[in-house]
Amino acid sequence: MIDFERGEPGPAVRDLVRLSDAWDGRPDLFEAFLSGYGRRLTATEEARMTIDMALDAVSGIAYGTAHSDPELIERGRRTPTRLRAGHHTALSSTGGT
């Protein structure tokens, strides 16, 4: 999957940030993704993904507000809620961060 609209050079794990909303509450989907990806995320990738999720949420809310995109705003609001609730621990095979 390539997002040409907002694509830019960066770490590969950044591409997973927007996908993470799709597997929220569905660890089976995340596990299926990892199976296809061929490996689990490293601790560094997990940490980077958490940071990028927070940054993407702020960016999405700002962009969505400026362009009257309520779906993007809502996705942006769900992300910090998930992070605060500790759902980011699902990214780890051991449940830790």
In a domain, 5, yes or no: no
pLDDT for res 72:
93
* pLDDT, averaged across the chain: 84
In a domain, 49, yes or no: yes
In a domain, 9, yes or no: no
Give 11-54 pLDDT, tens digit per residue. 888 888 888 888 888 989 989 999 999 999 999 999 999 999 99
Could you tell me the residue range of the domain that residue 54 belongs to? Answer: 14-91
In a domain, 4, yes or no: no
In a domain, 83, yes or no: yes
In a domain, 42, yes or no: yes
pLDDT for res 40:
93
In a domain, 2, yes or no: no
Distances in Å between the alpha carbon of 24 and those of 4, 30, 51, 63, 65?
A: 24, 8, 17, 22, 23
In a domain, 63, yes or no: yes
Q: What is the pTM of this model?
A: 0.74
Per the structure, the count of domains in the chain is 1
